[in-house]
Amino acid sequence: MSGSPAPGALVLIATPIGNLGDLSSRAAEELATASLICCEDTRRTGRLLAHLGLTGRRLRRVDDHTEAAEVDDVAARIGAGQRVALVSDAGTPGISDPGARLVAGVIAAGHPVTVVPGPVAAVAALVASGAVTDRFVFEGFLPREGRERRRRLAEIATESRTVVLYESPKRIGSMLEALIEVCGGDRRATIAREITKLHEEFVRGSLAELSDWAATPPKGEIVVVIEGAPAMPDATDEVIVAALTTELAGGASRRDATAAVAEMLGVGHRRTYELAIGIPGSVTPPS
Ligand code: SAM
């Protein structure tokens, strides 16, 4: 930077998701000049700074547990004209990483927020997958179990846009099985593994083929890109029953569950109600 000093702001800085060569010169410059660097893990960010030849930088841990408590101090520093950098362990802060609450708090306090864009695993996987990129949905990590997981799987089954998900290698096998249950085994998808790293790999195929591939548990970091459902999908009975079961398990009556699922999946009320009748324990309250 040249000329007058940069004004006070929260500066969101994307960092590499594997290859250190992906750190931009603007990111390096902001890290070199920030008054304070907020990061998820001081040791990890310390290693990145050492790679850049930066020592003695002031680091502060800001993670899911501490983020809300840091808002006031960070806002005060920015108000006093300081530039406060925010990085996560890898990629873009706020994307399946801490950051969003700090950003919202700084904006609410009336201070500027700016960004040094760069790597995001989801976008890197999407563009290399070969799937349609003009409209897509980022689902992040699915909940590991429960009603919300079932609801989101049901939504993915009928989503016509490309869907991008994060998953750990430990759970990729069970995630693919769950996706096959709702989307069918023929839906096309890509597993993007270790993007920008030595063992980078893009495995493209049907969900059934990818599930076979994952039978030998893969190592490393993974993004799953699923091609969208046909524009006007016919939800299968299995998908409708799964969605109904989720609604009923949440305490909805048979009538309310039918209305919610028919609306959500764009399917006929009568067909949905008939399937609801077959689900043990579903009841219609007396009118
Ligand atoms: N903030 C990051 C970003 O901008 O992508 C995401 C952080 S999230 C905690 C970590 C997840 O991102 C991993 O579990 C994996 O799903 C995905 N990921 C990160 N780096 C990756 C890479 N090099 N290759 C594939 N997936 C990656």
Q: What is the pLDDT of residues 243-286, one digit of tens each?
A: 999 999 989 999 999 999 998 888 899 999 999 999 987 776 66
Domain spanning 9-116: CATH superfamily: Tetrapyrrole methylase, N-terminal domain (3.40.1010.10)
40/55 Cα distance (integer angstroms): 18
Residue 218 CB–ligand 1 contact under 6 Å: no
Q: What is residue 231's predicted lDDT score, i.e. its pLDDT?
A: 63
Q: What is the CATH number of domain 121-226?
A: 3.30.950.10
Domain layout of the chain by residue ranges: 9-116, 121-226, 237-277
- Flag whether pLDDT at 174 surpasses 70: yes
Choosing from 221, 224, 225, 226 the residue with most ligand 1 atoms within 8 A of its CB, the one to mutate for a pocket test is 221
CA 168 to centroid of ligand 1, rounded, Å: 9
Residue 196 CB–ligand 1 contact under 6 Å: yes
Residue 225 CB–ligand 1 contact under 6 Å: no
Sign of CA dihedral 112, 73, 61, 53: positive
Nearest Cα to Cα of residue 231 among 135, 180, 159, 129: 159
Helix (H, G, I), strand (E, B) or coil at 10: strand
Residue 82 CB–ligand 1 contact under 6 Å: no
Residue 40 CB–ligand 1 contact under 6 Å: no
CA 124 to centroid of ligand 1, rounded, Å: 10
What is the distance in angstroms between the CA of the first residue and the CA of the last residue of the chain? 71
Split at pLDDT 50, 70, 90, the class of 234 is confident
- Among the atoms of ligand 1, which is closest to the Cα of residue 125? 25
| Mean of pLDDT values over 167-195 | 97
| Mean of pLDDT values over 19-37 | 97
86/71 Cα distance (integer angstroms): 12
| Mean of pLDDT values over 17-27 | 97
287/282 Cα distance (integer angstroms): 15
194-207 pLDDT, tens digit each? 999 999 999 999 99
Q: What is the residue with the minimal CA distance to atom 16 of ligand 1?
A: 166
58-114 pLDDT, tens digit each? 999 999 899 999 999 999 999 999 999 999 999 999 999 999 999 999 999 999 999
Which residues, 6+ apart, have CB-to-CB distance to 170 below 8 Å?
Answer: 217
Measured from the Cβ of residue 109, the count of other Cβ atoms closer than 10 Å reads: 15
CA 18 to centroid of ligand 1, rounded, Å: 9
